[in-house]
Structure 1
Amino acid sequence: MTGILEEARRYLAWLGAQGPLGTVHPWVAVVAADLALRIRWRALGPGRGAGRLLWMCERMATAPLAPRLVPRLWDAARARGIDAPDWRGTTPPGDCVLTPDRYRALLAERATGARLTLDGDTARVWAPPGAVVRLWDGLTVTTHVADGEETTHLFPPADPADPSAGRRGAAVFTRGDRLAAGPFEAYTALRD
């Protein structure tokens, strides 16, 4: 099964990277990105929503050192009750191998602080400048680029023939990170 899991992880990571591009439905990108990282680091026992924290651990470890450092970064974060990469501090964790400038750049890549509030036919959104905001109703999806101001967007009108019409959600995609609202909020942070 290991070979199948490795191949699935690569494919899922590719699907997850499609989120801001709009080539797959946003829920596919959110779930696939989370699952790809959970498969890669399955020995750590990560639950649903752990992908964002694992993403941060991988970036702080860098690719060559990831096999050794990600488990240590993961264990340290979980021991402190951290379940997502949304901490406020700017001091890197002890095992982070990034330079201070690269660490601050990584902090800026997070979706931390993005706010998505779904209310009837609208979504109120604040996301970092340049983040991609995708709203959906069933299979109908709209894409917006955040400018750093809070905005209200109408959900796209669903196709009346779409059996999934009425199932709405929103997602914010930054360079590598993502947050979701609606039925996919479970993929925003680890839930025990």
Structure 2
Amino acid sequence: MSLYQVAIIVGSLRKDSFNRQLADAIVKLAPPELSFKQIEIGDLPLYNQDDDGAQAPQVLRLKTEIADAQALLFITPEYNRSIPGVLKNAIDHGSRPYGQSVWGGKPGAVLGVSVGAIGTAMAQQHLRNVLAYLDVPLLGQPEMFIHAKDGLFDENGNIGEASLGFFQAWMQRYVEWVKQHAIHA
């Protein structure tokens, strides 16, 4: 039985992105106390404060799904040394109108994978800055700056054997973080 609902927010819209593959693979390492749901962000309109009084159905759906979760997992690519606009747009929608953010207090983690040698280090740092302002307590260690290389995923889309121990240790630490910080309604 799942005790903790985790909302996964993938910052890439591309169907076969490394980050979406990572989101699909990493959840397989979690114990049954955690259940995961990838949150759709590609259908959100661009944030406009004029719409705060009459938010679009997609925005209300996003906010409900985040509100229903006890924890957050952000998986982001790096675009031009920062986070993708679609991810920032989703975060902005979830934080507005001012004073009605659905993000605050939910334990979270940030990770990402890239073909670059430093993974998504810059994007993750920018995302951490944004989430700190929104009062999301983030797992600090171990950091996950993942370099996409042969063997990262096996032929079935699972984490490859060479990286499996690292990812299992990360998941164990993430589970501890969620249990320590999640608030049950």
Shared fold, TM over 0.5: no
Q: Which has the higher strand share?
A: 1
Higher Rg: 1
TM-score w.r.t. length of structure 2: 0.26
